[in-house]
Amino acid sequence: MQRWFYLFLGAITALLTACKSNPEPEPHTEAFSVLVYNHLAAVETQCAAFLTDEEGLVRAFQWLPAGDTARLRILKVRKGERFDCTLFQMTALLAPGSGVRDTAVHLITYTDIENKSTVHVRDLRLPAAQYTDLTFSLRDVQTVDSVVVPDGVPFEVPQPENHFRGKYRVFHTGACWLRLKVNGENQWRYWLFPQVQASTLEVECSVSDLPVLPGVAAQLSLPFFGPWTYRLERSLDLSTGRFLSLSPTVPVPGGAIPLFEAISVYEPPALPGQGYRLQLLGSDPRPDGYGYRCDRFFASLPTVVPAPPVDVAPTILANDRLVAAIPSVGTVLLRFIRRGAPNLTWEVLIAPLPGRPVVYRLPDVPAALSSLFSALSKYHFGGRVEVQAEHYEGLSTYREVLGRYLQSDDPLWQMKAGFTARSRIF
């Protein structure tokens, strides 16, 4: 009997030892995957995508062939594990009208992306990349006192030396115009081209045949006095994305950004359609100032552009990889932006926790990219982070906004959603 007791005790001990030395493996879910469609066919843009885990480790990386698809896949994913997806783009640039070539590197990280998500990489500029080289000759003119060609790059300004001949490269969506003051007149005259499709347009007329712009300029007050850049467009057909630019002439690259606190708005009379699109970017130069950004549609032109309804407070944590910020109530999305030289930008989109700190550390850089860009691999961003709190009138959650970014199928989605943001440099 005693012998059987010891045998039983030995069996139990062996069983317990076996259980202890072979613990139950941590449960895994199915593989995590993200499908990426690269719709960019231009040879001057090179794209890649990679997935990183909560520790910032690169778990999947692929170059994205132009006009092709790629699937990023991670095997043996732990239950509840979260991943971020980063898109990389390297683009060859040509400054309009300058002939100067450069390279820009841009990364954008979508945090907490869902399993089996689909990401579309598109150029969301309107047919805007469309441009026309407009050449106009003026007759019966002694002086051209002022000329404004909205969204036009000046190649040749009309003056006596060139017999009042002007040449501008105009970026448009199917319609353009110009306004000018001549012969010492106080009023503006205008020249409207409602249907423009060709890459070149040469016209000539007497200034006496140009109609006078009726009325006075509308005034649009801005949130503060400072350096502003803006695009103001009159909607001609919102369904097809046709607008008429009411913006100024394109400034010379590298020139000073003007400081002002109001916009004088001129437009030709009796235009079809209705409404205005305003894209506005500015920074308050005061010590406690903030950055402003918006893309909004107005059924009628407002007299005042309101301040953003959201804000963000700093913490003591901000460096080239790590940052923490506290967004206000009403913030739908929080964006961390780092800029390095030359032309290096890394953006991170993250869900806000209104009133509570949001902490994020940039993930590791894949070896394939580290070997190409030393500034990127060393996170050379000057130790500064721009933190942007974003508000959308038509969207209320981070997932909704992220879905628009992943789908990337509507150049006007931010305008339609009523986008306004306030940013601060940490």
pLDDT digits (tens, 9 = 90+) for 198-224: 999 999 999 999 999 998 899 999 999
How many CB atoms within 10 Å of residue 328?
17
Mean pLDDT along residues 384-396: 97
- Is residue 127 pLDDT above 70, yes or no? no
Q: What is the dihedral of CA 107, 109, 110, 113, to 10 degrees?
A: 120
Percent of the chain with pLDDT over 90: 76
- Of residues 28 and 40, which shows the higher confidence score? 40
At residue 12, the pLDDT reads 34
At residue 383, the pLDDT reads 87
Q: Label residue 309 by pLDDT band (50, 70, 90).
A: very high
pLDDT digits (tens, 9 = 90+) for 2-25: 333 333 334 333 433 444 444 455
At residue 152, the pLDDT reads 96
Average pLDDT, the chain: 90
How many CB atoms within 10 Å of residue 393?
13
At residue 254, the pLDDT reads 73
DSSP 230-270: EEEEEEEETTTTEEEE-S-PPPPTTPPPPEEEEEEE---SS
At residue 1, the pLDDT reads 40
Cross-strand bridge partners of residue 180: 147, 189
- Is residue 349 pLDDT above 70, yes or no? yes
Q: At residue 124, what are phi and psi to the nearest 5 degrees?
A: -90, 15
Q: At residue 324, what are phi and psi to the nearest 5 degrees?
A: -135, 135
- Is residue 58 pLDDT above 50, yes or no? yes
Mean pLDDT along residues 347-364: 96
Mean pLDDT along residues 360-388: 93
DSSP 85-96: EEEEEEEEEE-T
How many CB atoms within 10 Å of residue 8?
10
pTM for the whole thing?
A: 0.86
Give dist(CA 250, CA 231) in Å, integer.
10
pLDDT digits (tens, 9 = 90+) for 138-193: 999 999 999 999 999 999 999 999 999 999 999 999 999 999 999 999 999 999 99
Asked: is 128-209 a CATH 2.60.40 domain? The reply is yes
At residue 305, the pLDDT reads 96
pLDDT digits (tens, 9 = 90+) for 81-90: 999 999 999 9
pLDDT digits (tens, 9 = 90+) for 88-113: 999 877 655 556 667 889 999 999 99
Evaluate whether 230 touches 279 at the Cβ level (below 8 Å). Answer: yes
Residue extents of the structural domains in the chain: 1-123+316-390, 128-209
Q: Label residue 26 by pLDDT band (50, 70, 90).
A: low
- Is residue 387 pLDDT above 60, yes or no? yes
Q: Label residue 126 by pLDDT band (50, 70, 90).
A: low
